[in-house]
Structure 1
Amino acid sequence: MSIRPTNPRPIGRALAAAALGLATVGCSDGDVSDSGSAGTPVPPATSGLAVSAEELDVDLESPTVVLGADDGTLLVAERAGNVRRIDPEDPSTSTVVLDITADVGDVSGEKGLLGLAMSPDEDELYASYTRAEDGAGVITTFPLGDDGVAAASGRELLMVPQPFANHNGGHVVVDDDGLLWFGLGDGGGGGDPESNGQNPATLLGSLLRVRPTLDGDDPYEIPDDNPFVDGSTPAGDEAAPEAWAYGLRNPWRFTFDSATGDLWIADVGQGAYEEINHVTVGEGLGLGANFGWNRREGTHPYTDGPDPAEEPGDLVDPVFDYDHSGGRCSVTGGVVVRDSPGLPDLDGVYLWADLCEGVLHGLRTNDASEADGTTAPDNAESGVTDLDLGAQVPGITSFGTAADGEVYAVSVGESRLWRLTQDG
């Protein structure tokens, strides 16, 4: 399903509660209010597949990110500020390749080392974290030596003040062209009290896209094809030139499909609905897209937000959303499976999970689902089918793909690293 402008859909009223809380692997902003009940979720389709999560024997402390390197090793970021290199075939020992624990310091609330990426040539390591002195969101790049260990000091690329200690977002990806993508939450506080999600002039509540520079006075350049490169929207409103899209609440992981270039964004909801957005490369990757927060939560009007009559036009619907029934609380976005030895029948499936439910799911486009008989009719309009893959992944906070295509996952609360494999 490609992104498209839509009109708001009618719903019942929503619950207002918060989502991702790394410190407790919980779901509260401290602003809970009961304003109704969510709708009935569409049950996952029967996939006919069973996936297992194999726990690797490795000593980790609150891992937040797992990232594959070209040499077959994994880089795992720990919330306090260490990055470890692990051989998945011999995981019992690991090497610390970056230590920024002094820079991170405070890991209360949702703070800590939240994102990690490497340059295409793997000579630079990008770390996204909240800094100790004031909780601001920072991206710093560290040169990687021939031994795979990062330099002790780095170059700060970007600093974004955070008004609250939650919704820090923090996921970072470097694409094949060397462009750095950075997902930022709305600044927190519950309900977006500063209306950052609908303000294209702020970096908060946005997906950013810049080209890092490794020397000179400017830490990054603005790509010429960014939608707000001139500092304004098509309507003439002020806009941040770094922003590629906005209207996000707390994008907890996004990924590019290595085969198609499509972009998948998981966005944590306020208290009633979680959403997953899919942007197809054929539509220019949705330049300037407004994903709707805080006018909408998923495909539903956010009832504690601004007057719905003031909703801007051309909001972009997610391709999938779900409510908090069954103990669900917060979406964790994953990766698109491609050429995975361990998951051969899931090629092209986008993996995701819910932090509290702890069950592995997959989204498959309905074109592919019709071919194997797993299409769920209720999902025909959105273009995807949700598959219950069975594996238990308690407290999952991130997915990653190794160089050989194997898929891994980590849990910050459980301090675990899993390898995902298909049964049978």
Structure 2
Amino acid sequence: MNSRLIGALTVVVACSAVLFGCTDADTDTDKSGSVETTAPSSIPDSSVKAEAITTDLEAPTVVLGAADGTLLVAERAGNVRRIDPKNPDRSSTVLDITSDVGDLSGEKGLLGLATSPNDDELYVSYTRAADGASVIKTFPLGADGVATASGREMLVVPQPFSNHNGGNLAVDADGLLWLGLGDGGAGGDPYGNGQNPATLLGSMLRIRPTLDGDEPYQIPDDNPFSDGTTPNGSKAAPEAWAYGLRNPWRFTFDSATGDLWIADVGQGEWEEINHVAADDGLGEGANFGWNHREGTHPYTDDPDPADAPGDMVDPVFDYSHSDGRCSVTGGVVVRNAPGLPNLDGVYLWADLCEGRLHGLRPDADGEVTDLDLGAEVPGITSFGTAADGEVYAVSVDQNQLWRLTQAG
């Protein structure tokens, strides 16, 4: 375990990597010859400025827009706060599960948030104090927007190590809950979880929450492995939608197209961003390649390179750890944002260590151009979109909530 993974949220360091597993102790990080897949383009009318609107957060991990125009911000220790971006000095506590989270060693903590389509349930993803397992829990939200009762456990996934927990949550247009889980941690995927569709680790999960009855969730009939097997008859997890991921820290759905964007944190050389189109199956049953590949490149410590399948899905973009980069933070697709009129349809992303905003602009053929958006925000852990379309980000380096708008 790299020491950066232990102390980044108590003492700000270059990588702030405690949440991401951006480099593991057993990985060679001297990769100075690597270069980006695509050099970033700087387009003047796409430049962005970042305005800090609150600075009293404590290790924020998620920012999520609520239907009433407020923002929900998760703090790593287990608090969820509601902040009005028009009056950010006023905030309230929505949920406090600090006693459930407890242990913050490695990359543990409160890692994911989502709300039900009616905004009456709050879904949270966190690592459990007792054993480090990943827990998905749902809490009813009262009329005052505060979580009520003790919540209901939906899913518990044992974690063999304290890193690569993933944990991002999102609800799609059909009300299905998606969860991204890392490969279980350590370095190099020692248990081969990424290439094992029978485990929930290293996968994108897709379930239908049920608020009544004995079962906390259902398996959608159109999940690719809903019968518990792959097309070739081997065992598979019915909850899994896709696999072959190392640590899908952040993913998002395009509100206009339904496309899915997954930013997968790399090992020691390459970071990757995956894009699967809704009108092309949304990556159903896809194998994204880890641990045979890191980005589009063969993984240097692949235990069995000859066994790599031929149908692995390529990322739409990858970049190297040159120039001080270390860990990708996936963002959101800008849609009808009043403050970002020139970036409509652009997918925002950042690197945790580089601290500079980027955007991927897709063309009609599915190719992307990487835009250097100019703004510098160190240690971004999450992007979020408010109900009015405005885009925000949170960072751990300065414990701030940022509003992103067009510069000039």
Taking structure 1 as the reference length, what is the TM-score of the superposition?
Answer: 0.90
Q: Which sections of structure 1, spanning at least 5 residues, go unmatched?
A: 1-16, 368-379
Structure 1 CA distance for aligned equivalents of residues 200 and 217 of structure 2: 15
Structure 1 CA distance for aligned equivalents of residues 58 and 265 of structure 2: 24
Structure 2 CA distance for aligned equivalents of residues 83 and 269 of structure 1: 28
Which residue of structure 1 lines up, in the alignment, with residue 341 of structure 2? Answer: 344
Q: Which sections of structure 2, spanning at least 5 residues, go unmatched?
A: 9-15
Q: CA offsets per residue over residues 112-132 of structure 1, 9 Å max, x none?
A: 000000000000000000010
Question: Does the Cα contact within 8 Å between 2:358 and 2:371 map onto a contact in 1?
Answer: yes
Q: Are 1:318 and 2:315 an aligned pair?
A: yes
User: Secondary structure of 1:92's partner?
Assistant: coil
Q: Residues 314-393 of structure 1: matches in 2 within 5 Å?
A: 314-367=311-364, 383-393=367-377
Q: Residues 114-263 of structure 1: matches in 2 within 5 Å?
A: 114-263=111-260
Structure 2 CA distance for aligned equivalents of residues 351 and 245 of structure 1: 23
Q: Are 1:419 and 2:403 an aligned pair?
A: yes
**Aligned residue identity for 1:32:** T
Q: Are 1:78 and 2:75 an aligned pair?
A: yes
User: Secondary structure of 1:108's partner?
Assistant: coil
Shift of 1:34: 5.6
Question: Does the Cα contact within 8 Å between 1:19 and 1:271 map onto a contact in 2?
Answer: no
Q: Percent identity?
A: 74
How many residues matched?
395
Question: Does the Cα contact within 8 Å between 1:75 and 1:85 map onto a contact in 2?
Answer: yes
Give the direction of change, closer, same or farther, for the CA distance of 1:148–1:77 in structure 2 (3 Å limit).
same
Q: CA offsets per residue over residues 381-404 of structure 1, 9 Å max, x none?
A: x71000000011100000000000
Structure 2 CA distance for aligned equivalents of residues 115 and 306 of structure 1: 32
Q: Are 1:409 and 2:405 an aligned pair?
A: no
Q: CA offsets per residue over residues 290-320 of structure 1, 9 Å max, x none?
A: 0000000000000101232111120000000
Give the direction of change, closer, same or farther, for the CA distance of 1:341–1:23 in structure 2 (3 Å limit).
farther
**Aligned residue identity for 2:28:** S
Structure 2 CA distance for aligned equivalents of residues 271 and 20 of structure 1: 14
**Aligned residue identity for 2:325:** R
Coordinate RMSD, CA, aligned: 1.6
Which residue of structure 2 lines up, in the alignment, with residue 40 of structure 1? Answer: 35
Q: CA offsets per residue over residues 242-267 of structure 1, 9 Å max, x none?
A: 00000000001000000000000000
User: Secondary structure of 1:102's partner?
Assistant: helix
Q: Residues 83-122 of structure 1: matches in 2 within 5 Å?
A: 83-122=80-119
Question: Does the Cα contact within 8 Å between 1:364 and 1:385 map onto a contact in 2?
Answer: yes
Give the direction of change, closer, same or farther, for the CA distance of 1:347–1:252 in structure 2 (3 Å limit).
same
Shift of 1:81: 0.4
Q: CA offsets per residue over residues 122-146 of structure 1, 9 Å max, x none?
A: 0000000001000000000000000
Structure 1 CA distance for aligned equivalents of residues 371 and 54 of structure 2: 28
Structure 2 CA distance for aligned equivalents of residues 240 and 129 of structure 1: 21
User: Secondary structure of 1:315's partner?
Assistant: coil
**Aligned residue identity for 1:55:** A
Give the direction of change, closer, same or farther, for the CA distance of 1:201–1:227 in structure 2 (3 Å limit).
same
Structure 2 CA distance for aligned equivalents of residues 52 and 114 of structure 1: 26
